Amino acid sequence: MGDLTGRTAIVTGGGSGIGRACCKVLAEYGAEAVAADINLEGAEKTAESIQEQGGKARAVYLNVVELESVKEMMEKVYHECGRIDILVNSAGILDPTRVPDMTVEKWDRLIDINLRGTFFCCQQALPYMQKTGKGAIVNIASQAGQVGGWMAGVNYSASKGGILALTKALARHCGPLGIRVNDVAPGQIATEMTAGRGDTPDGIALGRLGTAEDVANAVYFLASDLSNFCTGMTVDVNGGQFMRS
What does each of the 245 residues of the chain score in pLDDT, given as a tens digit?
Answer: 899 999 999 999 999 999 999 999 999 999 999 999 999 999 999 999 999 999 999 999 999 999 999 999 999 999 999 999 999 999 999 999 999 999 999 999 999 999 999 999 999 999 999 999 999 999 999 999 999 987 789 999 999 999 999 999 999 999 999 999 999 999 999 887 766 676 888 899 999 999 999 999 999 999 999 999 999 999 999 999 999 87
Alpha-carbon distances of 117 from 30, 68, 131, 192, rounded to whole Å:
27, 11, 23, 21
- In whole angstroms, what is the distance from residue 188 CA to residue 43 CA? 24
Q: Which three-class secondary structure state does DSSP give residue 66? A: coil
Q: Are 166 and 118 in contact (CB under 8 A)?
A: yes
> How far does CA 242 lie from the centroid of its chain?
20
Q: Which of 29, 61, 156, 220 is catalytic?
A: 156
Q: Tell me, yes or no, if 156 is annotated catalytic.
A: yes
**Sequence letter at residue 192:** E
- In whole angstroms, what is the distance from residue 150 CA to residue 190 CA? 16
- In whole angstroms, what is the distance from residue 13 CA to residue 15 CA? 6
pLDDT for 196 equals 65
Q: Quickly count: other Cβ atoms within 10 Å of residue 113's Cβ.
A: 20
pLDDT for 236 equals 97
Residue among 91, 93, 92, 118 at smallest CA distance from 35: 91
Q: Quickly count: other Cβ atoms within 10 Å of residue 111's Cβ.
A: 16
Burial 65-97 (b: 16+ CB within 10 A, else e): eeeebbebbbebbbeebeebbbbbbbbbebbeb
Please give the torsion angle defined by the CA atoms of residues 124, 127, 131 and 135, in that order, rounded to the nearest 10 degrees.
Answer: 60
Q: Which helix (H) or strand (E) holds 75?
A: helix 67-81
φ/ψ of 143, rounded to 5, equals -60, -30
Question: Which domains are delineated in the chain?
Answer: 8-237 (3.40.50.720)
Sign of CA dihedral 221, 223, 227, 231: positive
Looking at the DSSP bridge assignments, the partners of residue 236 are 185
pLDDT digits (tens, 9 = 90+) for 98-113: 999 999 999 999 999 9
pLDDT for 150 equals 72
